[in-house]
């Protein structure tokens, strides 16, 4: 029983991390049809800067932990906005080239991060509570998973509120639904492109700082590993669907943890098998619209 | 559609139509006699052309040119943006190693086993990932390549894990082993490149290739004509994978070993950079891109170790000492400002002089799905 609870809760926690990365990817794809390979680079840069800020303020305090998360979100948002303005916008409506540009950016960024922060992973520290565990029904859950769940819940709630209640959120939802119509109504849909990139970058930034605490180290390749799972999650959830991304994140991560525990560490492989199955049975994903 | 495609078409009887073949044959002959000559290209090759160092670099160039050619078949001819092409390259490399080490067969049956293995993987993964098209296809192929990479890294006893796999030299004929025989390996790589080129040329000229091209332009229309785009695309995918596996086999022999990075997404991205740099949709562009990238990578790595770089302030030193950073920036610049790549730019200059209209292949790839989507959006 306790191992079941352990697997389930750590799975949900890991799913929360996937969701932080995948939510931005899914929104960006839904609105702009751009697969953003540079998302991993946003995440990695946020983690590095967040770590530097936390170090400057003293790693053990909760204050510096929160500040580093906020700084990570800001760095991710700024990096993403600049990417959209400088690289994506000039290639308006040329989707393949937009994808290629983000590929080039991630390629260059990872090399640059290695140049600045070195090729070896840097071990990090945080508030001591994060290293501990909390007992739930006899299962000792590492505390980082709670933080991940809380952060993802806040981001999900904020995104849903923003998309449902604000004017810009409405434009974005309408844009995902039918972009031609939104443009025909005289709304400059390009502004919302930048906005979506900024939001996605901020979510990835939060994810980056938390992923660093989750894995207790930061390296230039932190983003690349997570990005592939985020891609799988967005395809399984249905491209462009936030709810789909949320459900698929948890599904994928829980399955991964179960496979890692009961099938001798085959979690990564099982996830790809799940992806193949979903594609065979339902190519548009769980919550995707018919393309 | 009246717009000319980026793929050069051979019109029988036109003056100069045989020229590319004459040039191609002459180039192959020159490359074949290169190990016997003493030519120095300072700044490009580490030494005269007969030295093992230069020959090894040139062989590597040819292996990557073959890989780029196979990727161009996928992206240029069939319009499929795959992020998992390295999987088949790695399947060739690791397949050969595993066949020699565990089945203890001689080299040539080993190559056959590796090739068949690569093709089988391609049939299965291709059939599944082609359930989706466009960007989702790119993501799914990436996931498959990642799974392959994980399998290679995890199964330490079989593949050597992170350490990589050494080529079991016992079964390899003596004339293909060691620095002394770099010349023979060079000729082997040249033969692989020529074979891959001929296969790609054959597919491009065949009905299959035309069908794949038509599918790239407008899949719905091909379906309405009663043809089967899925089968055509799958065959092209498998052929391209087979060519990649062959390049992987040559790589394994050349380097007498392989690392897990030969399967990973990074290699696919490298190949993508080569093809886009050279020009999507041009066979000679893919070769130029592959060769240029490999040489640039080597030269920039040498630059990173140069003494004058060390004396620069950090702001300049760090970017300049990261070859991949410079190549990534070059790639972004090419995509943004030279979308046809080298071959596309040369080709459109020639066509413009003849008074024809041109459009780069990448832009055509973008337009095709937009046209296919149009009726769907009208319904919604």
pLDDT given at position B125: 92
Q: What is the pLDDT of residues B164-194, one digit of tens each?
A: 888 887 777 877 777 778 888 899 999 999 9
Taking CA atoms, what residue in B is nearest to A235?
B136
- Among A48-52, A165-169, A171-175, B319-323, whose mean pLDDT is lowest? B319-323
Is A41 in the B-facing interface, judged by CB distances under 8 Å? no
Q: Which residues in chain B are contacts of A100 at CB distance < 8 A? A: 272, 276, 331, 335, 362
Tell me how many degrees the CA angle B173-B177-B178 measures, rounded to the nearest 5: 160
Are B146 and A269 within 8 A, CB to CB? no
Task: Name the CATH code of domain B58-304+315-379 (choices 3.40.50, 1.10.3470, 2.60.40, 1.20.120).
Answer: 1.10.3470
CA dist A95 → A44, A88, A89, B121 (Å): 24, 9, 11, 29
Q: Which of A103, A113, A225, A226 to mutate to test the interface with B (most CBs of B within 10 A)?
A: A103
**Complex confidence, ipTM:** 0.85
Per-residue buried b or exposed e for B241-251, using 16+ beta carbons within 10 Å of the residue's own CB: bbbbbbbbbbb
Phi, psi of B306 (to 5 degrees): -65, 150
Q: A62-83 and A39-57 helices cross at what angle (nearest 10)?
A: 150
CA distance A238 to chain B (A): 10
Q: What is the pLDDT of residues A79-120, one digit of tens each?
A: 999 999 999 888 877 888 888 899 899 989 988 998 888 888
Strands (E), B120-226: 165-166
Tell me how many degrees the CA angle B23-B25-B29 measures, rounded to the nearest 5: 115
pLDDT bucket at A239, cuts 50 / 70 / 90: confident
Please say if the pLDDT value at position A288 is more than 80.
Answer: no
Phi, psi of B340 (to 5 degrees): -85, -5
Q: Are B174 and B265 in contact (CB under 8 A)?
A: no
Are B331 and A90 within 8 A, CB to CB? no
CA distance A129 to chain B (A): 33
Q: What is the pLDDT of residues B277-306, one digit of tens each?
A: 998 888 889 999 999 999 988 888 887 777
Cα diameter, chain A: 58
Assigned token pair, B362: 């990448």
CA distance B354 to chain A (A): 27
Low-confidence ranges of chain B (pLDDT < 50): 1-6, 10, 370-380
Assigned token pair, B120: 């089988």
Are A235 and B140 within 8 A, CB to CB? yes
Instruction: Select from A97, A272, A275 the Cβ nearest to the Cβ of B335.
Output: A97
| Beta strand B165-166 pairing with B257-258 | antiparallel
Q: How far apart are CA A221 and CA A247, in angstroms?
A: 26
Q: Are A141 and A134 in contact (CB under 8 A)?
A: yes
CA distance B232 to chain A (A): 19
Are A232 and B139 within 8 A, CB to CB? yes
Helix-strand-coil percent breakdown of chain A, rounded to 5? 80, 5, 20
Q: How far apart are CA A15 and CA A19, in angstroms?
A: 6
User: How many Cβ pairs within 8 Å bridge chains A and B?
Assistant: 127
Q: Are B252 and B188 in contact (CB under 8 A)?
A: no
Assigned token pair, A207: 């994810």
Are A104 and B135 within 8 A, CB to CB? no
pLDDT given at position B183: 86
Q: DSSP assignment of A106-153, as one string?
A: HHHHHHHHHHHH-SSPEE----GGGGSEEEETTEEEEHHHHHHHHHHH
Q: Which residues in chain A are contacts of B279 at CB distance < 8 A? A: none
Q: How far apart are CA B84 and CA A228, in angstroms?
A: 12
Q: DSSP assignment of A212-260, as one string?
A: HHHHTEE-TTHHHHHHHHHHHHHHHH-TT-HHHHHHHHHHHHHHHHHHH
Are A90 and B336 within 8 A, CB to CB? yes
Is A281 in the B-facing interface, judged by CB distances under 8 Å? no
Are B144 and A272 within 8 A, CB to CB? yes
Assigned token pair, A20: 């932080």
Instruction: Select from A90, A111, A272 the Cβ nearest to the Cβ of B324.
Output: A111
Q: Which residues in chain A are contacts of B362 at CB distance < 8 A? A: 94, 96-97, 100
Instruction: Select from A35, A105, A239 the Cβ nearest to the Cβ of B332.
Output: A105
Q: How far apart are CA B271 and CA B141, in angstroms?
A: 14
Tell me how many degrees the CA angle A203-A209-A213 measures, rounded to the nearest 5: 135
Domain range annotation of chain B: 58-304+315-379
Taking CA atoms, what residue in B is nearest to A108?
B325
Are A87 and B365 within 8 A, CB to CB? no
CA dist B122 → A275, B167, B272 (Å): 17, 23, 18
pTM as predicted:
0.85
Residue B370's nearest CA partner among A92, A287, A238 is A92
Q: Which of B125, B132, B143 to mutate to test the interface with A (most CBs of A within 10 A)?
A: B143
* Neighbouring C-alpha atoms within 13 Å toward the C-beta of B181: 15
Domains with residue ranges and CATH for chain A: 2-132+141-281 (1.10.3470)
């Amino acid at each position: 029983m306790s191992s079941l609870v352990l697997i389930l809760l750590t799975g949900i926690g890991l799913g929360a991390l996937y969701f932080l990365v995948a939510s931005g990817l899914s929104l960006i794809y839904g609105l702009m049809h751009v697969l953003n390979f540079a998302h991993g680079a946003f995440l990695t840069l946020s983690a590095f800067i967040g770590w530097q800020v936390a170090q400057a303020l003293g790693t053990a305090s909760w204050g510096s932990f929160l500040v580093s998360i906020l700084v990570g979100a800001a760095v991710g948002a700024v990096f993403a906005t600049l990417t959209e303005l400088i690289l994506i916008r000039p290639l308006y409506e040329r989707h393949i080239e937009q994808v290629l540009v983000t590929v080039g950016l991630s390629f260059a960024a990872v090399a640059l991060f290695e140049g600045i922060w070195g090729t070896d992973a840097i071990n990090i520290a945080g508030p001591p509570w994060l290293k501990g565990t909390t007992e739930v029904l006899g299962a000792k859950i590492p505390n980082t998973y709670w933080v991940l769940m809380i952060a993802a819940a806040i981001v999900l709630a904020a995104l849903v509120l923003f998309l449902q209640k604000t004017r810009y959120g409405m434009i974005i939802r309408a844009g995902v639904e039918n972009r031609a119509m939104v443009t025909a109504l005289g709304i400059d849909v390009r502004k919302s492109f930048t906005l979506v990139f900024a939001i996605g970058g901020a979510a990835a930034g939060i994810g980056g700082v938390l992923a660093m605490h989750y894995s207790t180290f930061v390296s230039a390749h932190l983003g690349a590993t997570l990005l592939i799972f985020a891609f799988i999650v967005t395809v399984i959830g249905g491209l462009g669907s936030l709810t789909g991304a949320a459900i698929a994140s948890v599904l994928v991560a829980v399955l991964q943890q179960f496979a890692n525990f009961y099938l001798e560490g085959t979690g990564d492989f099982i996830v790809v098998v799940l992806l193949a199955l979903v594609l065979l049975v339902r190519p548009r994903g769980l919550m995707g619209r018919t393309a | 559609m009246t717009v000319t495609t980026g793929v050069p078409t051979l019109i029988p009887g036109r003056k100069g139509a045989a020229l590319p073949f004459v040039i191609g044959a002459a180039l192959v002959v020159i490359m074949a006699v290169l190990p016997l000559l003493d030519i120095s290209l300072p700044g490009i090759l580490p030494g005269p052309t007969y030295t093992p160092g230069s020959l090894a670099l040139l062989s590597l160039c040819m292996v990557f040119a073959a890989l780029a050619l196979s990727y161009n078949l996928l992206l240029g001819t069939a319009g499929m943006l795959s992020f998992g092409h390295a999987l088949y390259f790695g399947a060739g490399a690791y397949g050969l190693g595993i066949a020699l080490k565990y089945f203890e067969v001689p080299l040539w049956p080993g190559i056959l086993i590796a090739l068949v293995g690569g093709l089988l993987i391609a049939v299965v993964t291709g059939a599944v990932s082609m359930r989706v098209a466009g960007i989702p296809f790119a993501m799914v192929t990436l996931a498959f390549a990642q799974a392959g990479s994980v399998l290679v890294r995890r199964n330490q006893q079989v593949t050597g894990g992170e350490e990589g796999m050494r080529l079991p030299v016992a079964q390899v004929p003596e004339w293909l082993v060691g620095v002394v025989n770099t010349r023979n390996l060079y000729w082997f790589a040249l033969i692989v490149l020529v074979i891959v080129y001929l296969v790609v040329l054959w597919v491009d000229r065949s009905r299959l290739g035309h069908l794949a091209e038509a599918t790239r332009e407008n899949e719905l229309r091909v379906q309405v004509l009663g043809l089967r785009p899925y089968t055509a695309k799958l065959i092209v995918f498998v052929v391209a994978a087979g060519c990649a596996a062959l390049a992987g086999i040559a790589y394994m022999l050349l380097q007498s070993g392989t690392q897990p990075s030969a399967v990973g997404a990074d290699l696919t991205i490298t190949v993508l950079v080569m093809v886009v740099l050279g020009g999507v949709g041009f066979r000679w562009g893919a070769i130029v891109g592959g060769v240029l990238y490999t040489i640039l990578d080597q030269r920039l790595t040498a630059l990173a170790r140069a003494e004058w770089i060390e004396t620069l302030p950090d702001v300049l030193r760090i970017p300049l000492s990261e070859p991949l950073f410079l190549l990534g920036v070059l790639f972004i610049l090419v995509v943004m400002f030279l979308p046809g790549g080298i071959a596309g730019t040369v080709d459109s200059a020639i066509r413009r002089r003849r008074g024809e209209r041109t459009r780069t292949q990448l832009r055509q790839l973008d337009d095709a799905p937009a046209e296919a989507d149009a009726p769907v959006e009208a319904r919604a």
